[in-house]
Structure 1
């Protein structure tokens, strides 16, 4: 009997650990997937466009950004609730339904391959369609286990404060969606990061040939490269040389596959990325859909570049006719160049976006609303804040994300009893307030009914038949008021008229 009890305890402990582990795996996957989508809403919206084109649902293309935000919010909130063990009954069910939709979809993508990358982790992690399908199968199996066992392990937070974790998570993820839509993604997972030198990134990873020179001094031979040849005055003498292949030095980003700019039929890429001075590119994948609310700032920046001798080029993938319409409507005079639409979308998000280069290095990616106005454009770019490289430190930004989310969650965890007590007091105060108002309303209704009954009494009860005037008091007769029945207190009346469900709530 004792051994049976021990085995049951061990089994219960094992089940709790499995529930904890599966919550961590499934919830963590959903949190990561939803958050990287929230960091880059435009990237997910472009992926939705690919899906709608593959399934012939182009009429939904106008809502891609809305779908992008909604998907990131749903995934993030489901992951948070599953990770914290909140709403232990409904959360696994919702996750199960979500995966029941996504798993067949990814199976179709793996078989038909209409899209090479499903985009489930944005640009942060790229998975093949088959890898995505098997990932969803594993998550679906773990979720089925949680459907039946999630209640065996209590959540991290009490029921009274679980809605607060959901509310803060919603605000948190929407904040980064707002940053990604109106500015640039807070974390950049693309190859065109700030600080990347485009000419170097175009050739990174390619084998290069290098000459090695052999010199001799005091009977000892040593190898040198072309950059550090020894001076012959020190006694070095040339012996031989040979050629070898070396790996190009790695840049801050993966190699860039495509970066070609055309002016008409002429390739002007080298002219732009090899310019040692400043060069500003106005990027727009589609000028017919570009936001023209800040065209004055853009035109002022172009005039400033003309005055100080900097290059300013509008790079688009629109047709020449659409480009002409844009120039006519905005009064712009800057030259137009053309680039592949996918490349423009990969470089920077938003339509349009301003890219600041110097010597082929990306210094800034700016939304038009962030551009300096004409009152600030009074000095050369190297003397302005706009001309200095934007500080992009991904490690610090990741640290800020963790602190901004986990610190409030930790404070709530440490003070949840006090917070639950405050919430309970507020609920009780609201309930008492509703009771008092209802009691006052019932009291007024009772007084009104009493007055109506007195007015409708028969005239014979107050005087002679047919005479509606009150009886005159006789001289010397004592006027004794008729005793009235005492009116019950308002609280007693309210309590006597309480509905059964109200008494149940109060209990």
Structure 2
């Protein structure tokens, strides 16, 4: 009884983890790109293959999580999941120890986990899988019962997986776990951010030139104790080791990064959020965006009446027939995954969000 409960729980964790990544495989590929970047593993070739690898990892989790749930090919399934856990434990440990990737993306945008939380989650799963391997070892060679129900359920699960992954890649995620979901009022979110901001303090690394002693002192203690800064003080600030640390976590939202600017640096956020209707086309990677799609979307946007129309990208010359604005590419990626996509706001509230290709096909 206990081993069946443990098996089902672990299987559901893998299925849940795989599902939220399957919904947004493109978003998970962005996370893999972070791991392959020069700042982490420096594997530029794999950056280009990130989406393919993301789909493979997602499929791996879902398929073997499902196999574990229905007790199919148990020895092979447990072996594969143990290998997967070892792999993820290495990645999360590396992220946590060297502080290079702050969120592993284990549960996509549905559940944010800090690096050490992700690592210990992987360790707990690994221990659970090893226990299951030991408990089920005597059943590995028993013939597997293959019922019609299992076959139909497996076929349904596989087709569902393919549909969900494909929809998220070719359109937008079928379930939106991000801060920019339809119905979100950006004005309200920005008010919450302003009302409860995060607080940071500067920490100085001080070295005593006489004794060689090294101290780390926060900005308040430094100012309040004149021995650190009075004339003739032996304490010298090491600027290279001065850091800023979070001391109070405020209201967190990716919407804090929503800040379209003109090429001259003029912030257009307020104008966009106060307009009765704003229709914005975004491209986080304009060089690789489909030129025909961009042109058709621009043409359709130009037909919009009584709306603020704006093209937002990382290049001030992306859009040819509408006004251009600039925004950080990573910040654009947090809004939607398509390149390009169209966002519609009414007085700052998101009322529609879709890929530019779907926007073109949409009836007025």
TM-score by length of 1: 0.56
Work out the CA distance in 1 between the residues paired with 2:153 and 2:89: 28
Q: Which one of the candidate residues 324, 329, 337 is aligned to 2:325?
A: 337
Alignment of 1:414-429 (within 5 A): none
Give the corresponding residue for 2:216: none
Matched, 1:281 2:280: yes
Matched, 1:40 2:24: yes
Give the corresponding residue for 2:99: 113
Matched, 1:298 2:288: no
- 8 Å Cα contact 1:39/1:185 also seen in 2: yes
3-state DSSP class of the match of 1:357?
A: strand
Structure 1 unmatched runs, 5+: 1-16, 209-250, 378-507
Q: Which has the higher contact order (CA 8 A, sep 6+)?
A: 2
Give the corresponding residue for 1:51: 35
Q: 1:388-431: per-residue Cα shift (whole Å, max 9, x none)? A: xxxxxxxxxxxxxxxxxxxxxxxxxxxxxxxxxxxxxxxxxxxx
Assess, with a 3 A threshold, how the Cα gap between structure 1 residues 366 and 18 changes in structure 2: closer, same or farther. same
Alignment of 1:333-482 (within 5 A): 333-372=321-360, 376-377=363-364
Alignment of 1:124-203 (within 5 A): 124-150=110-136, 158-161=145-148, 162=150, 164-203=152-191
Shift of 1:168: 2.9
Number of equivalent positions: 304
- 8 Å Cα contact 1:300/1:373 also seen in 2: no
Work out the CA distance in 2 between the residues paired with 1:107 and 1:178: 31
Shift of 1:362: 0.5
Give the corresponding residue for 1:314: 311
Give the corresponding residue for 2:261: 262
Alignment of 1:235-254 (within 5 A): none
- 8 Å Cα contact 2:182/2:352 also seen in 1: yes
Work out the CA distance in 2 between the residues paired with 1:372 and 1:104: 44
- 8 Å Cα contact 1:77/1:166 also seen in 2: no
Shift of 1:74: 0.7
3-state DSSP class of the match of 1:347?
A: coil
Shift of 1:273: 1.0
- 8 Å Cα contact 2:23/2:175 also seen in 1: yes
Assess, with a 3 A threshold, how the Cα gap between structure 1 residues 361 and 141 changes in structure 2: closer, same or farther. same
Work out the CA distance in 1 between the residues paired with 2:104 and 2:294: 36
Q: 1:211-231: per-residue Cα shift (whole Å, max 9, x none)? A: xxxxxxxxxxxxxxxxxxxxx
3-state DSSP class of the match of 1:146?
A: helix
TM-score by length of 2: 0.77
3-state DSSP class of the match of 2:256?
A: coil
Give the corresponding residue for 1:223: none
- 8 Å Cα contact 2:311/2:325 also seen in 1: yes
Work out the CA distance in 1 between the residues paired with 2:195 and 2:332: 27
- 8 Å Cα contact 2:85/2:122 also seen in 1: yes
Work out the CA distance in 2 between the residues paired with 1:172 and 1:153: 30
Shift of 1:309: 3.5
Two-structure CA RMSD over aligned residues (Å): 2.4
